[in-house]
Amino acid sequence: MHEMGICDGIVTASLEAAGKENASRINSIEVTIGVLTEIQEEALQFAFSVLTKDSIAEGSTLNVTMVPARSVCGECSAEFGHGRFDAKCPECGSYVCTLIHGRELQIDSMDID
Amino acid sequence: MRVDIAKGILEKNDTLAEGNRELFARKGVFVVDLMASPGAGKTSTILATIAALRDRYRIAVIEGDIASRVDAEKIAAHGIPAVQINTGGACHLESDMIRRAVDTLDLDEIDLLIIENVGNLVCPTDFDLGEHAKIMILSVPEGHDKPYKYPGIFQLSEAVILNKYDTVSFFDFNEEEFRSVVHDLNPTAPVFAIAATKGEGVDAWVEWLAARIEAAKVVQS
């Protein structure tokens, strides 16, 4: 259940940003999450509904964009998308690859009144 | 009204972790974050590491558990400073907990700080604590298929310890497959087969760790 800890980060940062804007309500929050963080959207949504209760974000929508894994090959510099387990270069077969997408944990924006 | 935030969700944790990292660098303390499932042998591995390295380095331990002081007491019984963190339900340690624990230790008297994370193969991977190296332990009875199920922790660990290796003949553990999958996930991570409670195979692991500590000293100085 690290979704609760992750979601606490989302809610705390959003409420802080909303406070700076003197918002009366948060309508929606957009976040980007990489698939390799092993975060389950369902658990995240549940945590969100719990953590926003009795705040100006209660009832707001959490829009999650999941980012697939992508790596760049350290041998031939090819860039390729892959699953959770097979970061193997399709061009030269090397496993020495650097991950460039898939571990994102970012709050992008929110809609407030 | 739309407002751009563009902030890392774990920014608060990451900022505090950076503060920890600066403190450790200033005090010349090498910090290891040890991660594994419950029962994989984290505390036994720490005790074996202490036994092998206590003449070379001044060691301290931070124990992370949901409840109890059992582990810290085991470490302290060996005359090693140990701080227990009880997360009270949280499944991983965060950098602010580490900072509070570190503030109770005299860092001038410590060369190596080992953090035993909460037993879990998923949650600790996303949380930077300001450590130099994340290391994971898998024990033989857990099965050779764990890297397929929990790839993240195998990818983020600098080294993998395969504990309870003395029991390998009693389990359907395919070591060749295990090593091959770990290599595919993380080509640079060495795998150390050990039996922590018997001290077997510990030499290779502690020599790797000692080399890593010495390399960090060169970078820091």
> Which of A26-35, B45-54, B82-91 has the least mean pLDDT?
B82-91
For residues B25-42, average pLDDT:
97
Query: What's the confidence (pLDDT) of residue A1?
Result: 57
Fold that domain A3-68+102-112 belongs to in CATH: hypothetical protein PF0899 fold (3.30.2320)
In this complex, the residue of A1, A109, A112 whose CB is nearest that of residue B91 is A1
Tell me if chain B has a CB within 8 Å of the CB of A110: yes
Residue of B nearest to A103 (CA): B126
- B81-128 confidence digits (pLDDT tens): 999 999 887 888 999 999 999 999 999 999 999 999 999 988 888 899
Residues 20-49 of B with CB under 8 A from A: none
Residue pair A27/A106 in contact (Cβ under 8 Å)? The answer is no
Q: Nearest Cα to B187, choosing from A88, A71, A82?
A: A88
Q: What angle do CA B36, B40, B43 make, to 5 degrees?
A: 85
Task: In whole angstroms, give the CA distance from residue A41 to residue B53.
Answer: 44
For residues B22-48, average pLDDT:
97
Task: In whole angstroms, give the CA distance from residue B127 to residue B123.
Answer: 8
- Closest-CA distance, A37 to chain B, in angstroms, reads 7
Residue of B nearest to A9 (CA): B9
ipTM: 0.80
Tell me if chain B has a CB within 8 Å of the CB of A113: yes
Which uninterrupted H or E stretch holds A42? helix A41-51
Alpha helices in chain B (DSSP H): 11-27, 42-53, 70-76, 95-102, 146-149, 151-156, 175-185, 202-220
- B66-86 confidence digits (pLDDT tens): 888 899 999 999 999 999 999
- B154-200 confidence digits (pLDDT tens): 999 999 999 999 999 999 999 999 999 999 889 899 999 999 999 99
Query: What's the confidence (pLDDT) of residue B69?
Result: 87
Whole-model pTM: value is 0.86
Query: What's the confidence (pLDDT) of residue B66?
Result: 86
Tell me if chain A has a CB within 8 Å of the CB of B4: yes
Q: Nearest Cα to A85, choosing from B182, B151, B183?
A: B151
Q: Which candidate in A31, A64, A95, A113 is best for mutational testing of the B interface (most B CBs within 10 A)?
A: A95
Confidence check: pLDDT of A89 > 60: yes
Residue of B nearest to A31 (CA): B9
- Closest-CA distance, A65 to chain B, in angstroms, reads 14
Confidence check: pLDDT of A14 > 60: yes
- Closest-CA distance, B128 to chain A, in angstroms, reads 13
Residue pair B177/B144 in contact (Cβ under 8 Å)? The answer is yes
Q: Do B152 and A38 touch (CB under 8 A)?
A: yes
Query: What's the confidence (pLDDT) of residue A53?
Result: 96
Confidence check: pLDDT of B27 > 60: yes
- B11-23 confidence digits (pLDDT tens): 889 999 999 999 9
Contacts of A18 in chain B (CB under 8 A): 3
Q: Locate the domains of chain B by residue range.
A: 11-220
Q: Locate the domains of chain A by residue range.
A: 3-68+102-112
Instruction: Considering the domain delimited by B11-220, tell me its CATH architecture.
Output: 3-Layer(aba) Sandwich (3.40)
Q: Nearest Cα to A96, choosing from B155, B178, B131?
A: B155
For residues A51-72, average pLDDT:
96
Residues 15-44 of A with CB under 8 A from B: 17-18, 21, 23, 31, 36-38
Q: What is the mean pLDDT of chain A?
A: 92
